[in-house]
Structure 1
Amino acid sequence: MSSVAEQKKLVEQLRLEYSVQRKPVSECVKEMMDFMNANNEKDVLLNGFPNKKDNPFMEKGGCIIV
C-alpha cells in the first residue's frame, strides 16, 4: 500500500471514530446500575438456578474407570 493510500485509510477511520456519539462515564454507569437492579431477579449468578436440571454446567454423569 502506498503512503497516500494509507493516509486516506487513516483519515477515513478517524472520521468514523469522530462521528461516534459519546456519553459521560457517570451516565453510562448509572444506566448499567439501573439495568442490573431491574434484572437481578433473573440473574443466575446471584440467585442460582431454580431447578438443578436447568444448570447447563452441571455434570450429566459420574466418572467411570474401566
Structure 2
Amino acid sequence: MTDRFQILVNATPQQVNEKTTLAQAAVQFGAQPPYVLLLNHHFIASSQHDQITLKPNDIIEVISAIQGG
C-alpha cells in the first residue's frame, strides 16, 4: 500500500502518493505548457522537475503563460 500525503497546488489541498515527483504532480493536476513551477516559493527549472520528490506540506505554484497578441 502506498502512503499518501497532502500538498498545496495553487493554494488548493491535494493528495499525492509518496515518491511523486514535481513533474508528475504538475501532470496530475492538469498543468498545460507553457508554465513554470515554484516549489515552496522557489523557482524550479524545468530540467529539475523529474528529479525532485515531493514531501508532505510542499507548496506548488503553477504559473501559466498568458497568450495573446
Task: Specify the structure having the higher radius of gyration (Cα).
Answer: 1
> Of Structure 1 and Structure 2, which has the larger fraction of its residues in helix?
1
TM-score exceeds 0.5: no
> Of Structure 1 and Structure 2, which has the larger fraction of its residues in strand?
2
Normalised to the residue count of structure 2, the TM-score between the two structures is 0.24
Normalised to the residue count of structure 1, the TM-score between the two structures is 0.25
